[in-house]
């Protein structure tokens, strides 16, 4: 027999990892665990069993947290937070470095414990999960060291409630705990019910590192405990898990004035073009969907193959699937381990059995909580398995003909977490990547992640980023003592004086002046009781029309930053030419004397955002390996906004300008008590080369228009600077499709830097990370 024949026919023998040390760690603690609160473990209480999914063996008994446990954890975190923040970034960095080193020293213990508890192959826990967790603590120790220098004027949020899933228990802990601690927050963490052991082991090393009491608190239990954490008196909720639960968290947090980040589900496309390296792409598929048994939110679970190579690709893929080894996760020769729990296995099987497609399984899985790698073809794009997250080792496949069709199929989902593009033509890859509605795009690769590069999605995959400066900033707030808004009321009048020329003010939709759908208008009076004019009253159909017009102006996102800047400069020039007229109108409406200053500030703001158009830059992230990770700032899409009441012109301009500067389209509801300045501004828009539909202006009741804005499925974001308290309604309404919201609730001084800057630009953009490996 030749060497080639021996190599091709030889089989792998077992290479078991010894679990003795990990089991001893559990036994040494009595195999019963309480919570970790205020720097110490509580006495174990009534609870539930943690099992090894590969064998069904009971590993330990964990304690089900009560409301008093959660309250005690939050109280401990609240008490510890001021002193923890007062250490300064450099002081906190020392503790984060210590935690990173301890994760390294106990790397094998964490890896084996993770595999025992979760069922993932030991190779993945050892070579991916644990090293990445270490990397996050090292990286964020560096961010803490640099915080005062690089994030001036920002401070910690306070106490963060964090709820993590079962698929990457230790890594998800690191993603959330490390940035929170680095920025000066304290945390109350709820690990997944099925996989809490590595979180409790992390609590152990928190004690070894001498972490101050109360900085990290861990409570265990089922989803009810997660709900308690979300509803507790915390300053931020950070959640990774299913879209359904994320929607409930958005509803539960509505109107509370707390920060929220959600990293949710996905149905990521894996796009293979005809010029791809087929063998490399097949290995990419293996990594994309069968890594961690497909129990990955960014798994490449939708395979899209160009028709010319589809038959060959699927033949080779099936052959490769036949070589995948499913079995004991502690065997270092195993490719696919156990499903985390019998309930999850049953869910996967039920979805596959109901699919109706052509099912190919790579052999039989061992008895127990295992499921074989599965390929399903012959489904339509609307089939449930093409749309819904399976969260298991199941790949669905279809074909496409052209790049445009590939993009259309890829974006035909309610999710937007990750995507993978395979082509040896860099022009094709970099042409398609920006067109994909996704927070992460991998070119000729998959599952590339690093602490320096932001991770997160769009649409119903959630919002916010984890990793990088963008992830760290989400655990901070701007230090500015802005008071809460108070309601601004307009003036009343008793008589209507005749005017020489009756000019009917209209709204602005799709580049044209438009009458309100309802046919109603309201009288707007000056401070002296005299009639200034009649303002249209918009309704939900006017919002529908405005959003439709904004969607039709999608070409604005493709305009160059230079061109957008020219339009904003032109707007500023044309507004300046009418400064006297606007100043008089503002003073007459508001009864003040600051009209001139407001107009000048509005002109300056237009020039400021014109300057920002081509200067709000992305970044190339310093990630390990031969790969370029580009963080690109992209427009969110269509943003609806309730403009400030107190600054009728400047407020509208301050909201509109960053939105359109970044390539978005705007649906603006003008100041409710003082709408006439916005209606006059329409004439400036009409003479300033603003494409129709890019800016749409409505007038009417903020309270009545808030819900239609929040619930409109074609709006990507909703902002509110209204003096009417609409936070709860907007945030609850936005939960339906999980759109981003920014409800300010603060009395900004719009004449100062409180009314402009990076906070507005950040809110008007999404960060897309594009990973491009290189090398001959």
Residues belonging to the active site:
263, 297
As a residue count, the chain comes to 776
Any alpha helices (H) in 354-399, and if so which ranges?
384-387
Report how far Cα 342 is from the mean position of its chain's Cα atoms.
30
Rounded CA-CA distance 738/727 in Å is: 15
Give the three-class secondary structure for 521.
strand
Rounded CA-CA distance 670/679 in Å is: 8
Q: Taking Cα atoms as reference points, which of 83, 97, 86, 90 lies closest to residue 212?
A: 83
Rounded CA-CA distance 535/541 in Å is: 17
Structure tokens, 680 = 């006059």
Structure tokens, 95 = 């503790």
Contact between 132 and 171 (Cβ < 8 Å): yes
Give the three-class secondary structure for 720.
strand
Q: Taking Cα atoms as reference points, which of 85, 96, 66 lies closest to residue 190?
A: 66
Rounded CA-CA distance 504/515 in Å is: 9
Give the Å distances, CA to CA, from 383 to 351, 377, 439.
11, 11, 24
Pairing of strands 259-263, 462-463: antiparallel
Rounded CA-CA distance 300/288 in Å is: 5
- The DSSP symbol for 442 reads E
Rounded CA-CA distance 265/541 in Å is: 32
Q: Taking Cα atoms as reference points, which of 646, 642, 644, 618 lies closest to residue 632?
A: 618
Distance linking the first and last C-alpha atoms of the chain: 35
- Count Cβ atoms below 10 Å from residue 618 Cβ, excluding itself: 15
Contact between 630 and 772 (Cβ < 8 Å): yes
Contact between 432 and 270 (Cβ < 8 Å): no
Q: Taking Cα atoms as reference points, which of 275, 57, 74, 227 lies closest to residue 160?
A: 74
For residue 599, the number of C-alpha atoms closer than 13 Å in the C-beta half-sphere is 22
CB crowding 19-55: b at 16 or more within 10 Å, else e = beebbebbeebeeebbbbbbbebbebbebbebbbbbb
CA dihedral 110, 116, 118, 124 (to 10 degrees): 60
Rounded CA-CA distance 750/594 in Å is: 12
- Count Cβ atoms below 10 Å from residue 753 Cβ, excluding itself: 11
């Amino acid at each position: 027999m030749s060497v080639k024949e021996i190599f091709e026919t030889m089989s792998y023998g077992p290479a078991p990892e010894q679990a003795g040390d990990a089991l001893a760690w559990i036994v040494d603690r009595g195999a019963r665990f309480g919570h970790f609160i205020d720097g110490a473990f509580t006495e174990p209480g009534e609870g539930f069993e943690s099992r090894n999914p590969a064998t069904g063996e009971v590993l330990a008994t964990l304690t089900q947290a009560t409301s008093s446990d959660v309250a005690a954890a939050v109280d401990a975190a609240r008490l510890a937070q001021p002193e923890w923040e007062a250490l300064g970034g450099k002081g906190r960095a020392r503790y984060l470095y210590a935690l990173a080193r301890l994760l390294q020293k106990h790397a094998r213990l964490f890896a084996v414990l993770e595999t025992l508890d979760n069922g993932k192959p030991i190779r993945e826990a050892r070579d991916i999960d644990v090293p990445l967790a270490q990397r996050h603590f090292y990286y964020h120790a560096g961010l803490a060291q640099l915080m005062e220098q690089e994030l001036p004027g920002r401070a910690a949020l306070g106490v963060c409630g964090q709820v993590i899933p079962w698929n990457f228990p230790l890594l998800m802990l690191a993603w959330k705990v490390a940035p929170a601690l680095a920025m000066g927050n304290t945390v109350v963490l709820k690990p997944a019910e099925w996989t809490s052991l590595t979180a409790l082991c992390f609590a152990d090393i928190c004690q070894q590192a001498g972490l101050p009491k109360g900085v990290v608190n861990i409570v265990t239990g089922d989803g009810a405990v997660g709900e308690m954490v979300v509803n507790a008196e915390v300053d931020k909720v950070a959640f990774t898990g299913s879209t359904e639960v994320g929607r409930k968290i958005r509803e539960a947090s509505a109107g509370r004035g707390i920060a929220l980040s959600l990293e949710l589900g996905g149905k990521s496309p894996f796009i293979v073009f005809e010029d791809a390296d087929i063998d490399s792409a097949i290995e990419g598929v293996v990594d994309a969907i069968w890594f961690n048994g497909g129990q990955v939110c960014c798994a490449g679970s939708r395979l899209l193959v160009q028709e010319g190579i589809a038959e060959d690709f699927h033949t080779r893929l099936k052959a490769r699937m036949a070589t995948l080894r499913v079995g004991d996760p502690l065997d270092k020769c195993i490719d696919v381990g156990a499903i985390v729990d019998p309930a999850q296995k049953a869910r996967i099987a039920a979805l596959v059995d109901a699919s109706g497609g052509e099912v190919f399984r790579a052999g039989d899985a061992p008895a127990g909580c295992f499921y074989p790698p599965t390929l399903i073809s012959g489904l339509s794009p609307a089939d449930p398995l093409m749309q819904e997250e399976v969260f298991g080792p199941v790949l669905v496949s279809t074909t496409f003909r052209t790049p445009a069709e590939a993009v259309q199929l890829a974006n035909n989902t309610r999710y937007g977490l990750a995507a993978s593009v395979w082509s040896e033509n860099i022009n094709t890859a970099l042409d398609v990547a920006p067109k994909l509605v996704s927070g992460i795009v991998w070119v000729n690769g998959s599952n590339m992640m690093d602490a320096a590069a932001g991770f997160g999605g769009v649409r119903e995959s959630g919002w916010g980023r984890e990793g990088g400066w963008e992830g760290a900033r989400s655990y901070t707030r701007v230090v500015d003592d802005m008071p809460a808004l108070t309601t601004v009321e307009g003036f009343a009048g008793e008589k209507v004086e005749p005017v020489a020329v009756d000019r009917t003010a209209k709204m602005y939709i799709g580049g044209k002046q438009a009458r309100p759908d309802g046919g109603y208008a309201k009288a707007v009076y000056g401070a002296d009781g005299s009639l200034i004019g009649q303002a249209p009253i918009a309704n939900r159909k006017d919002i529908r029309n405005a959003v439709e017009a904004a969607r039709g102006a999608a070409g604005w996102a493709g305009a160059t930053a230079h061109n957008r800047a020219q339009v904003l400069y032109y707007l500023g020039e044309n507004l300046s030419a009418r400064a006297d007229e606007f100043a008089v109108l503002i003073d007459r409406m508001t009864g003040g004397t600051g009209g001139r200053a407001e107009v000048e500030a509005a002109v300056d703001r237009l020039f400021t955002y014109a300057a920002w158009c081509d200067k709000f830059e992305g970044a190339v992230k310093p990630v390990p390996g031969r790969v370029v990770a580009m963080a690109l700032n992209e427009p969110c899409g269509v943003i609806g906004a309730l403009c400030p009441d107190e600054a009728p012109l400047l407020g509208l301009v301050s909201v509109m300008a960053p939105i359109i500067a970044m390539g978005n389209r705007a649906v603006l509801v003008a100041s409710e008590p003082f709408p006439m300045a916005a209606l006059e501004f329409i004439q400036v828009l009409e003479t300033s080369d603003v494409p129709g539909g890019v800016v749409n202006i409505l007038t009417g009741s903020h309270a009545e228009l808030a819900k239609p804005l929040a619930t409109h499925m074609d709006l990507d974001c909703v902002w509110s600077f209204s003096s009417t308290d609409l936070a709860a309604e907007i945030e609850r309404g936005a939960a339906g499709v999980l759109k981003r919201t920014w409800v300010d609730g603060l009395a900004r001084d719009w004449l100062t830097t409180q009314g402009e800057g990076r906070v507005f630009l950040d809110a008007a953009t999404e960060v897309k990370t594009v990973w491009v490996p290189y090398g001959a």
